[in-house]
Structure 1
Amino acid sequence: MPDLTAHDPELVATHTTAAAASVARWVELHYGLAVAHCHLIRRGLNDNYALLCADGSRHVARLYSIRPRGDFNIDFETALVSHLHARGAGVAAPVACSSGDAHVALRFPEGPRALALFRHVEGAVPDTLEEFELTGCTLAHIHGAARDYAGPASRYTLDGHHLASRTLAYLETYPEIDKGLRETYRQLVQRLLQELATAQGGLTRVVCHGDTHGFNNHIHTGPDGSRSAVFFDFDDAGPGFLAYDLSVMPWSYMVRKTLKEPDDTLRERWAHYLRGYEAGGGEPSDADLCALPLFVQLRHLWNMGEAAGRRHHWGTSAAPQDWLKKQVDVMDAWKSMDLHA
């Protein structure tokens, strides 16, 4: 009988899911908090854990996953969110370690990973038209508050390379794609990059949240009954285009509803979202709004790249060839999308 307790030197870990008890221990050790309860919220691009402390406070611990795009952007993320919080923007503030550092470096079988702690945000995702308007308003506040950010630079710029070229690179070595479909994606990426090169001179630049799909913010009701939107999960943030940050919400809705064009519900939500953004001081130009179909497609490519690039963790079932084929037609239909009522 083989010794099943011995470590197999041929075993290579690609992703480890830490037990909640381990995360609770690390938080107690590095943040000095007495943790009464901890559980895994979800695995995904990162692993997120809910924590209830003995003093009644609630936090979210994020254990960053190793991603194919490169090193963690955590120094930029935590410094940006701290800056936004200090400016009064609606964000989930990070919590510093006992040492004063913004995060902890941990050794995992697959390599070093980072752990960061954030305040828990009460509330629920936006659902009513008023709540989408509040969301747009707070996003404008975030963009405005980030203008004088002067902390650590982002490792990533949300440009054509980040949104499209990386995805193409992942597809070049993806096992669930044939030669013909790979060439189709080469031509698709080339078209989108040419469109972006033509349009980008007239587009507004901002520090993007990067993942404003509606599930990364909660609508919070204060003790006085006032309501506000609070954003979290800035791990995809970076300098980029306003049109991109605005495009993620309609993209998310159309993907979830498997739509090739906006329906009446989305148009109504978009109208309130944009109204809120403008009420919050945001000023999207006509060029920004005209570029929305382009950035909806670029967002879709970025998301596909996250799946294709994470096949070591998620497997190829996250983006099988049949699905990849269908997305070509979907993005072709989105070229002429119109969000106006």
Structure 2
Amino acid sequence: MFDLRPLYSTLHIEAITQFIGEHYAVEGPVSCQMLQRGLNDVYLVTGKNGERYVFRLSQHRARGPADVKTETAFLIHLSQSGVPVAAPVPTREGTFFVQAHAPEGWRSGVLFQALEGREPHATDLGDAWANGKTLAMLHNASEAFSSDGAVYRLDLEHLLWRPLARLQESGIIEDVSAYNDLKRIAEEAGRAIEAFGNLTWAYCHGDCHGFNSRINDVGEAVFFDFDDSGPGYLAYDLSVFLWANVSFGRKTIRRWDAFIEGYRAVRPIGSDDFEAAICFVIVRHFWLMGEYATRANEWGSNTVSWIAREANFLKTWQTEQLVNRLF
């Protein structure tokens, strides 16, 4: 008989409910509702008295297992430093993450306090400003955090070169000339970034695109989803917000301006870091394409077919930031 090993499994909601009851001191009866599946499985957890939590069950990704040990340590540090974030909830044993055995292997789980407040609005410049402010607070606090033992570093190897290799390995881009175009763009972006001599290194959120937050009743942006966090280029952490406002046909540059104003209200930005953020837009897009390329066998080739059409965006951005300069 063939061993039909699963690549990814969706667990019964009853099993998740029982698992949380066994590992966390949430007063029962506990109810669970799946919010989303994708790079991770995310569940809304409600206790007896209506208290709400979010449980994230990580998947294995091409980069390897989730670095929940460093992630939760960073979140605790941020919370203690007064940065508004979704704090992890300790287990009955006093740890901040658990391991769950799924059919495909061990997966890491973290329970977080559910955030109150509303989702940020795409047209609200105040929300963009608030996101910039919180990211600056995060970077300030990160200076007192030791990232020793972090599994991943958000450097060019992690963000650009490995994703580029995954694009080639996936076979999604069948046109050799199209892949060569992407390879050339990646190499030019890499050289441009390496030419900066004074880029700041910080512990990064890694996915601050403006919607991994909730706006609370005093207008703060409270951050969550630190799954892609790690020590890396501060310019990359800035660039993710810019990328979210210029990629996939979006042209909302005013949100970027407001974001930067909010950031600078708390923390200055070095000239090299600001200039490099514009180059890192290309790196961010390669990172995303690489992530999706590794999911072709799980999500299906149709779901990731958009990757083959992205050279035009990258070429256009490269021309604008090197020649015409929108900023």
Query: How far 1:205 moved relative to its partner?
Result: 1.7
How does the TM-score come out when normalised to structure 2?
0.92
Query: How far 1:152 moved relative to its partner?
Result: 5.1
Q: Is the 8 A contact 2:246 2:253 kept in 1?
A: no
Amino acid at match of 1:102: F
Specify whether residues 151 and 96 from structure 1 end up closer, same or farther in structure 2 by C-alpha distance, changes over 3 A only: farther
Aligned to 1:287: 272
Question: Is 1:277 aligned with 2:263?
Answer: yes
Alignment partner of 2:70 out of 72, 76, 85: 76
SS in 1 for 2:216: strand
Question: Is 1:54 aligned with 2:48?
Answer: yes
Question: Is 1:211 aligned with 2:207?
Answer: yes
Specify whether residues 36 and 111 from structure 1 end up closer, same or farther in structure 2 by C-alpha distance, changes over 3 A only: closer
Between the aligned partners of 2:257 and 2:189, the Cα distance in structure 1 is: 26
Query: Which has the larger displacement, 92-101 or 309-318?
Result: 309-318
Aligned to 2:179: 182
Aligned to 1:231: 223
Between the aligned partners of 1:138 and 1:166, the Cα distance in structure 2 is: 30
Between the aligned partners of 1:339 and 1:162, the Cα distance in structure 2 is: 28
Between the aligned partners of 1:203 and 1:237, the Cα distance in structure 2 is: 18
How does the TM-score come out when normalised to structure 1?
0.89
Percent identical = 35
Between the aligned partners of 2:256 and 2:147, the Cα distance in structure 1 is: 33
Between the aligned partners of 2:297 and 2:36, the Cα distance in structure 1 is: 18
Between the aligned partners of 2:182 and 2:135, the Cα distance in structure 1 is: 32
Q: Is the 8 A contact 2:147 2:231 kept in 1?
A: no
Query: How far 1:151 moved relative to its partner?
Result: 5.7
Amino acid at match of 1:245: D
Between the aligned partners of 1:251 and 1:106, the Cα distance in structure 2 is: 34
Between the aligned partners of 1:35 and 1:152, the Cα distance in structure 2 is: 39
Amino acid at match of 2:89: V
Alignment partner of 1:330 out of 297, 313, 324: 313
Between the aligned partners of 1:293 and 1:274, the Cα distance in structure 2 is: 13
Specify whether residues 78 and 175 from structure 1 end up closer, same or farther in structure 2 by C-alpha distance, changes over 3 A only: same
SS in 2 for 1:255: coil
Between the aligned partners of 2:78 and 2:303, the Cα distance in structure 1 is: 34
Deviations 1:278-312 (A, max 9, x none): 112x2111111212221111000000011001223
Deviations 1:21-49 (A, max 9, x none): 22111110001212432111111211100
Aligned to 1:142: 138
Alignment partner of 2:126 out of 117, 122, 130: 130
Specify whether residues 316 and 216 from structure 1 end up closer, same or farther in structure 2 by C-alpha distance, changes over 3 A only: same
Contiguous gaps of at least 5 residues in structure 1: 1-7
SS in 1 for 2:136: helix
Amino acid at match of 1:11: L
Between the aligned partners of 1:303 and 1:172, the Cα distance in structure 2 is: 14
SS in 2 for 1:91: coil
Between the aligned partners of 1:270 and 1:197, the Cα distance in structure 2 is: 24
Between the aligned partners of 1:238 and 1:126, the Cα distance in structure 2 is: 24
Alignment partner of 1:108 out of 98, 102, 105: 102
Between the aligned partners of 1:73 and 1:166, the Cα distance in structure 2 is: 18
Alignment partner of 2:235 out of 237, 243, 251: 243
Aligned to 1:14: 7
> What is the aligned residue count?
319
What pairs with 1:296-311 in structure 2 (closer than 5 Å)? 296-311=281-296
Aligned to 1:197: 194
Between the aligned partners of 2:281 and 2:17, the Cα distance in structure 1 is: 39
Query: Which has the larger displacement, 175-184 or 108-117?
Result: 175-184
Between the aligned partners of 2:97 and 2:258, the Cα distance in structure 1 is: 37
Q: Could you say what the CA RMSD is over the residues aligned between the two structures, in angstroms?
A: 1.7
Q: Is the 8 A contact 1:105 1:112 kept in 2?
A: yes
Amino acid at match of 1:14: L
Aligned to 1:3: none
Aligned to 1:86: 80
Between the aligned partners of 2:78 and 2:93, the Cα distance in structure 1 is: 22
Amino acid at match of 1:334: W
Query: Which has the larger displacement, 212-221 or 142-151?
Result: 142-151
Between the aligned partners of 1:214 and 1:238, the Cα distance in structure 2 is: 18
Between the aligned partners of 1:72 and 1:325, the Cα distance in structure 2 is: 28
Contiguous gaps of at least 5 residues in structure 2: none
